[in-house]
């Protein structure tokens, strides 16, 4: 066999992990996570043909390919030349397997301790799913319909910006207080009993600022709402699972500084420990690769 690949074809992105038996060539990917982990690339699902062309150009035909995700069957049908060595991998199993491997690899790279014992895994993709992981236990707890898809959809409805990269760029420049009703606004001019910038009610500011709300304010408010809800659900799940460790993964965190910042802050505020691994968006692809390899 020439090598192994995992393809996580989701509703928003197609993520590919490819591990060759030989040395890695310059393939336009995001580089190696470590010597034992694969080349990682991604494509928008709306440009699925670009993902197909990349696979045909970079991945030899005898490669074992694990397909996972909601668009996996569609992508697999576009790559019939790989059918002889194709493997279907359940999405939630792939996500959990990939997350564990990424945490271990990043800890080795940083010479630090990986997430140990029991932890809750929160996968923030188009929507959000939750898992509890401890050793060989990989149990899905459930999910909610908020995630990166919410950020794109709601910001698009509010101010017409639907490009995720542009939303992530704008959000740190905005003010949530131009849109949200905060604790500080409710208690003013008195000193609030908790942090004044915490949200009392999303999108509920009764009187907008004199200049009106700008696109960056809406972007900040939407990302803040998603972060608050995802963290609240994740930390509550961790408490029910008798752990204070929460690991956040998913494509929503990639290049989204405000979402990462708020996730870390809110998790700590609620008394839990948060970790957002750098290569978390590729958990499904990496997991599919290794489960297919088995």
Ramachandran angles phi, psi of 130, nearest 5°: -125, 140
CA distance 139 to 202: 32
Alpha helices (runs of H) in 42-192, residue ranges in sequence order: 48-58, 72-77, 91-110, 148-159, 164-170, 183-187
- Tell me which residue of 138, 120, 98 sits closest to 243, measured CA to CA: 120
Identify the bridge partners of residue 54 per DSSP, sorted by sequence position: none
> 98 with 284: CB under 8 angstroms?
yes
Using alpha carbons only, what angle is made at residue 196 by residues 193 and 197, rounded to the nearest 5 degrees?
150
Active site residue 228: no
Run of H or E including 258: helix 257-269
Judged by DSSP in three states, 75 sits in helix
What interhelical angle do 283-293 and 91-110 show, nearest 10?
A: 100
Contacts of residues 24-30 at CB distance under 8 Å and 24 or more positions apart, as own/partner, are 25/58, 27/54, 27/58, 28/54
> 216 with 171: CB under 8 angstroms?
yes
Query: CA 37 → CA 58, 100, 277, distances in Å?
Result: 16, 13, 14
Judged by DSSP in three states, 40 sits in strand
Catalytic residue among 91, 97, 106, 228: 91
The residues assigned a catalytic role are: 91
């Amino acid at each position: 066999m020439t090598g192994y690949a995992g393809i996580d074809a989701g509703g928003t992105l197609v993520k590919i992990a490819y591990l060759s038996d030989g040395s890695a060539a310059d393939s336009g990917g995001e580089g190696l996570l470590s010597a034992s982990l694969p080349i990682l690339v991604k494509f928008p699902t709306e440009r699925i043909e670009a993902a197909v062309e990349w696979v045909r150009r970079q991945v030899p035909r005898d490669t074992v390919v694990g397909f996972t995700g909601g668009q996996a069957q569609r992508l697999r049908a576009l790559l019939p030349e790989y059918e002889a060595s194709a493997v279907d991998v359940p999405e939630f199993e792939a996500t959990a397997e990939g997350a564990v491997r990424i945490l271990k690899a990043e800890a080795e790279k940083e010479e630090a301790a990986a997430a140990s014992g029991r932890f809750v895994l929160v996968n923030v993709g188009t929507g959000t799913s939750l898992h509890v992981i401890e050793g060989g236990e990989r149990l899905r707890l459930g999910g909610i319909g908020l995630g990166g898809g919410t950020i794109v959809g709601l910001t698009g409805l509010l101010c017409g910006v639907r490009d995720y990269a542009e939303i992530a760029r704008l959000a740190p420049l905005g003010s949530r207080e131009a849109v949200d009703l905060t604790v500080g606004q409710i208690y003013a001019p008195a000193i609030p009993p908790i942090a004044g910038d915490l949200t009392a009610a999303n999108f509920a500011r009764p009187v907008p600022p004199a200049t009106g709300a700008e696109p960056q304010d809406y972007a900040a408010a939407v990302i803040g709402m998603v972060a608050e809800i995802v963290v609240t659900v994740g930390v509550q799940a961790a408490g029910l699972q008798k752990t204070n460790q929460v690991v956040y993964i998913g494509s929503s965190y990639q290049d989204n500084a405000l979402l990462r910042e708020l996730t870390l802050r809110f998790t700590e505020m609620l008394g839990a420990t948060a970790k957002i691994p750098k290569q978390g968006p590729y958990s499904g692809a990496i997991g599919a690769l290794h489960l297919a390899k088995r």
